[in-house]
Structures are given as structure tokens and as C-alpha cells.
Structure 1
Amino acid sequence: MAESLTVRSAVYHADSGDRLAVETLTLDPPGHGEVRIAVRAAGVCGSDRHVIDGEWNVPLPAVMGHEAAGVVEAIGQGVRELAVGDHVIIAWHQACQRCAECTGGKPWACMRVKSNDSQLPDGTTRWRTLDGAAAWPYLAVGAMSDHVVVPDFAAIKVDERVPFDIASLIGCSVGTGYGAVVNNAKVVAGEAAVVVGAGGVGLSIISALRLAGAHPIIAVDVTPEKLTEAARVGATHGLIGGPNLASEVAALTAGGADVAFEAIGRIQTMAQLPALIRPGGRAVFVGLPPEGQTLELDALQLAYDGKIIIGSNYGGLVPARDFPRVAAAYLAGELPLDELISSRVSLDEVNDAFDAMRRGERTRSVIVFPADPSAD
């Protein structure tokens, strides 16, 4: 039976400001139906930034990170479909697997999910501070740590040919972007699309739109460098966001896009989305804003023009189905996911990575863990 481990983790405390502390914690062994994973790569995501910038509230102290891939190192009782040595991607939305939503193929809509509260399915945590107090893995993953414990159904086996840094992004930003296009918007070839925000998720949406055959694909950002990155992954046009955005999109699409995606999570840009689509078009909200913000939309415009608003929670993903599909598309050369990673950093550089994100300097930073944690 596996024993408790001492692990290095990036932890957010109530008095941390916007800094994470890299410190030592205790990780208890996996329980029934759980697996322990040696993390090899963890993405630095905007959702984590929402927490450490005080925009979202989570149980504290919090082991940050939720976008990860690694190797199964130990298994608890009752685990049947995973084995030690398997390469896996971790799903942060850990649905209950039993409710009507889950059995109906919509795990993203599960109303019994506990991972949003940083709890494992039994309502507990496997993490402890060195003095024995509970620590809580963000979204029940805690990916910014050299090891994690998650339910077996949240560890999705992936082809070993997929590099760990790429696999980690499939668990959130890439999976979310792909799912928003394929599952939520159901984009078909020839549809005109616009993507507002060319960060990690926005670039993932653009990559998926290219795969779906959308045309034109218009990227919108306030940073010219981000538009250059967007072109590399499939954008046919790039626009700097501003007050004339709707007319510029209309000129490129003969009246408006068929589908528009907001990938930032800003109320101001979300409010712009309906004006970018033609009558009968779809506006898809992918970015997540801070808590407590209200969005105002022109109700008459939506009703009269038959415009559709779609909320995208985790891209409508079914991880066991969609993660392997995305990985296969990457291996086939159909999704240029290597272009999404702007920097690879160590765990000790995590605060620098978040600072760069705040300055808009990187598309995606990935924390890379050595195969032997003692070498860190």
C-alpha cells in the first residue's frame, strides 16, 4: 500500500497578497477509487490568477493549479482501468458520474460536483500542512505540485507519444477551446468566426476552428504580438479591439460572423459579442469573469435577430471521449499545439509566470517537473 509523501507545492494563503509560496506539504496515499500521479507538467492558467488576485474565493490554504499531466504512480483499491506507469491528463471538473446530467452525456452540467469547492468526491482532501492542518487542492487537482491524488475517473489515459507539456494543456485551455468549438458552438466548415482574446484559450479556439474548416477566422486582441501568434495557429485575419470592431468584423464577413467567442472573461468584451454576429448567429462565452459581475445585453436585439447566447462550461467536454480525440489530432499534425506554449518554467518561477500573464506577455507558461523530484 502506498504511503504518505512529502511534496513541494505552490500554495496560496489568506495573507499571500498575489504571491504563491513554494513549500513542503504532506500528501496522503490514494483512497478507494483514487490514484496518485507524479506530475510532469502543469499549465499556468487565468483561472488560477483569478484566485490569487482575489477575484474568486476558494478554501485556503490552496494548492494551486488545475491543468496537468503526469504518470500514474500508485493506485487505491477499486481502481480497474488505470495501472502504474500510465500517462494521464487530469480533468479538473470531476463530475459525480451518477446523476442524470452525467449519465446523459453532460458531465460538465453535473449539479453534484465537489471539485469546484476543491474537494474530492467524498468531500475531503488528501493534502495536509506539516502541522497536520488540511490544505485544499484547487479544483480538486492542485497541479502546481510534484504529486497529486485524484479520482481515477479524473485521470484520462493518453498516448505516451504526446509530450507532457502539451498533454497538460489538453486538460484545460486546449480542451476548453476545442470543446467550445466542437461541442458548444458545433461549428461547421465554411462558417465565419471571430475570437475575442488571443491568449491560451483563444488560441486553442482558433486552432479548433481551423480544424473544423471555419473561414474566415478573425482574431481580436489589443496586442499586435498576440495577433501574430493567432495567425500561426490558423487565424486568417487579425483586428485590434476598439470601438469600430463590429463594423470591421461585418466588413470581413459580409454582415457579421456566424459565431463569435469571448475568451478573456471581461464584462466589457462579453457585452460586445452579440454585435459581432449576424442574425441567427451564436455568441459563445468561454472566458470566466470575476465573481459578482453583471452583464447587460440588448434584449430586443437578441430576440428580433434570433441571436443565440451560449455559455461554455469546460467546453462541454466529456474528458474520457474528448481528451484522446484532441491528443490524436495533435499527433496527426492537425492541431498546432506546440505554438501555444510561450515559456517553460520551474515550480520556483511560478510567481514570475503569473506576473508575465498580468502584463500580457505570454500565451501560455507551463511548469515542467523533473522525472526525479529530488533533482529539482
Structure 2
Amino acid sequence: MKTKAAILWGQNEKWQIEEVELDPPKEGEVLVKLVATGLCHSDEHLVTGDIPMPLPVIGGHEGAGVVVQTGPGVTEVAEGDSIVFSFIPSCGRCSYCARGMQNLCDLGAHLINGPQLDGTYRFHARGQNIGQMSLLGAFAEYTVVPIASVVKIDNGSPLDKAALLGCGVPTGYGSAVRTAEVKAGETVVVQGIGGIGASAVQGARIAGARNIIAIDPVEFKRTKALELGATHAVASVEEAGPLVVELTRGNMADSFIITTDRAESSYISPALDLVTKRGKVIVTAVANFANADMSGNLFMLTMLEKQIRGSLYGSSNAHHEIPRLLELYKTGQLKLDEMITKEYTLDEVNQGYEDMRNGTILRGVIRF
């Protein structure tokens, strides 16, 4: 079949909207009609080369839609089912899935290769095979994906909001609730208030944190952080320091979550300085793949048992977390409507990323 998609043909180029050829689903795959796709910063990392994925590629990995067709062997979903994509597939059988770490499933090794799990491509354009970001390619009206990347949700769920549950919300929420293990009464610092940082703020609020300090140089984002549950919002880590001392009577923060547009080595040392004994620095933001340096006081790391933890997908199990977060939304505890600043058409994807770079949106969503 033919469909329309946004393709990245070269590094630091714009997304090109064009008609592509899409093959039907093979064994263990499904054809999905997209309803909405979030504009996540990870797709921007493809443009800048921070994530080294072979090009050309159809972007998009934070999406929701309806199953149109199932391939041979698929029994988990049927035509007409509402689904959310999980940007990390989970097989349910590997050592990591078996130990409850579906975010670290062995299938994740295929995320930035380009082709599907069997090594072949589903999209084609200009006489070339086109890869799919995270095996999904959600910047398209229709896409074919592995059943391992599909999470069924209740039919009738608002798919334009549920799309955010495919990446940004569980990543941020889980960074606080799962990776940082925030508990009632704790003090949490969140650096960088985009879609993931705003979700980390919400996770800390839902977990019962007493103080939630949001850091972002953009006033609009600081205001949104306060609306979503932050108790304080400042423009820089330097401003946050005295505030943390005051709020904790010198005990410092229990966790510091880094959710900036890109992780930088220089962020680690100041974050370590602001956490308490056994305090946790959570690195959720993606760094350039070649960045191999970090700084910090190793003596204090040992003597005060401070911790640095990476957080992929918020240390979450998508098949459990996505329906659970949807329930939190339906009961009013998790705010999704307030996260979406602006909607775009697929043709406006480049404008959406320009707005993101300019700091004028918290989360943009493509509506199909």
C-alpha cells in the first residue's frame, strides 16, 4: 500500500514528507493506522547524529493508533484494537524480561539498526529501503511494527493523549518513581523541563515528594512545571543550590534527575553536589554516543555512598506501565492534556521541531 511519511535522508537535514510504499505485515507483525504521534527529542537526536542510526529513516516512536491488519501468528491483538507503541520492544522471554526488566529486553539491540527484526525493510521510497526509528516509524499515516512493540489499551481511550505514553511520560515518570525510587516526603530536583522532565515532576508529585525543584532557563517551562506539580522553579543549577540547602535544612536533595535536551558530562558533578548521603543522580537525557567522560568527586561518591544511575524508559515495563498510567490519567492524577502545548499535521513536523528547539512548547503532537 501507499502512505505518507516523514523521512530523514541526511544528517542535519529537514524531514521530507513524501509518499512511500509500505509492505504488509509479516509473521509476528501488525499494520497500524496512526491517530497521533508525539514529537520527542530522541528523533531530533537522529537529525544531529547524537544517535547514530543509518539513513534514510522514518522517524517517530511515540505513537498510538488502531490495528488494521495482523500478520501470521499474532494473537495478542485484533483488527480494531486500540494500541500504544512501546519504543522498546519486549519479547517476554529473554533473561532481562524474565527478571522484570522489559526496558532492557534483548530486542532493544535492533532499535537503531533500521530494518525490522528479520533484517528486512517494510518501507520503500526513491528506489531505496527506508529504516524505521525504534522499529516503529510513527511519523507515518500507517506503519508495520512487531507485536513486541505493541501495547493494547482499552478501546475508546483518547489516543491523542495516550500517544504520550509510548515514550516521554513513562520515561520521565519512571525516572522518578522507578529509577530514583522517590518516596513520600523527599526532595527531588529535575533539571530540564521538556516532555520527559515534566513527567518526572509529575512522577515525583504522585509519589508524594515534599519538595520538587524544577530547573529550566525558559520561563514558560518553569511555569508549566509549577502547574504540573513542582513546588519551586528556578533558571539554573546555581540558583537551585541555596534553595535545596534552605528547604532541606542542609541535608540536601534525595535525588537529582537530569532530563535536559542532551546529557552533558559537566552536569554530573553539580548534581552530585546537590544530593544527600545515598542520594541518587539519575541520568535520563541522552548524550552523544561518543561522550565517554564524566566528572565528580570520587572521594565523596564513596564516603557518602552517593549514586549515579542511568534510566532507560524510566526503568519501566511497558505492558504494565502504559495501561497503569492511562488509569492515572483517567482518575485525574496524571495530567496529559496539560502536557500538550500544540498539535501539528504531519506536513508541519519541521515546524514542530523548530518550536521545540525554541522552547515554546512542552510537547507537540502530530494528529493524523
TM-score range, shorter chain: over 0.9
**Residue identity in the other structure for 1:122:** D
Q: For 1:349 and 1:270, how far apart are their aligned partners in 2? A: 36
Alpha-carbon distance, 1:97 to partner: 3.2
- Does 2:303 match 1:304? yes
Q: How does 1:4-83 map to 2 (within 5 A)?
A: 5-14=1-10, 17-83=12-78
Q: For 1:24 and 1:168, how far apart are their aligned partners in 2? A: 23
- Does 2:218 match 1:223? yes
Task: Find the counterpart in structure 2 of residue 287 from structure 1.
Answer: 285
User: Cα distance 1:96–1:81, how it changes in 2: closer, same or farther (>3 A)?
Assistant: closer
Task: Find the counterpart in structure 2 of residue 342 from structure 1.
Answer: 341
Task: Find the counterpart in structure 2 of residue 237 from structure 1.
Answer: 232
Q: For 1:77 and 1:67, how far apart are their aligned partners in 2? A: 25
- Asked if the contact 1:41–1:168 (Cα under 8 Å) also holds between the matched residues in 2, the reply is yes
- Asked if the contact 1:196–1:269 (Cα under 8 Å) also holds between the matched residues in 2, the reply is no
- Taking every aligned residue pair, what percent have the same amino acid on both sides? 34
Select which of 176, 184, 206 maps to 1:189.
184
SS of the counterpart of 1:116? coil
Between 99-108 and 5-14, report the one with greater CA deviation. 99-108
Q: For 2:196 and 2:149, how far apart are their aligned partners in 1? A: 21
Q: Deviations for 1:149-171, whole angstroms, at most 9, x for unmatched residues?
A: 11113111112343222111110
Task: Find the counterpart in structure 1 of residue 162 from structure 2.
Answer: 167
SS of the counterpart of 1:26? strand
SS of the counterpart of 1:73? strand
Between 62-71 and 150-159, report the one with greater CA deviation. 150-159
Q: For 2:257 and 2:91, how far apart are their aligned partners in 1? A: 29
Between 185-194 and 35-44, report the one with greater CA deviation. 185-194
Select which of 235, 246, 249 maps to 2:241.
246
Q: Deviations for 1:49-95, whole angstroms, at most 9, x for unmatched residues?
A: 11112322212110011110000010011111201111100011113
Task: Find the counterpart in structure 2 of residue 155 from structure 1.
Answer: 150
Select which of 259, 263, 288 maps to 1:266.
263
SS of the counterpart of 1:260? strand
- Does 2:271 match 1:276? no
- Could you list the runs of 5+ residues in structure 1 that have no partner in the other structure? 370-376
Task: Find the counterpart in structure 1 of residue 122 from structure 2.
Answer: 126
Q: For 1:270 and 1:202, how far apart are their aligned partners in 2? A: 17
User: Cα distance 1:30–1:359, how it changes in 2: closer, same or farther (>3 A)?
Assistant: same
Q: How many residues align?
A: 363
Alpha-carbon distance, 1:244 to partner: 4.3
Between 74-83 and 103-112, report the one with greater CA deviation. 103-112
Q: For 2:341 and 2:175, how far apart are their aligned partners in 1? A: 22
Q: For 2:181 and 2:238, how far apart are their aligned partners in 1? A: 29
- Does 2:308 match 1:313? no
Q: For 2:156 and 2:328, how far apart are their aligned partners in 1? A: 12
**Residue identity in the other structure for 2:99:** G
SS of the counterpart of 1:323? helix
- Asked if the contact 1:27–1:126 (Cα under 8 Å) also holds between the matched residues in 2, the reply is yes
- Does 2:96 match 1:101? yes
Q: For 2:269 and 2:89, how far apart are their aligned partners in 1? A: 30
Q: For 1:272 and 1:7, how far apart are their aligned partners in 2? A: 48
Query: Normalised by the size of structure 2, how large is the TM-score?
Result: 0.95
SS of the counterpart of 2:238? coil
Alpha-carbon distance, 1:336 to partner: 1.1
Q: For 2:189 and 2:280, how far apart are their aligned partners in 1? A: 11
Q: CA RMSD in A?
A: 1.5
Alpha-carbon distance, 1:102 to partner: 1.6
Between 146-155 and 36-45, report the one with greater CA deviation. 146-155
Task: Find the counterpart in structure 1 of residue 323 from structure 2.
Answer: 324
Q: For 1:55 and 1:204, how far apart are their aligned partners in 2? A: 23
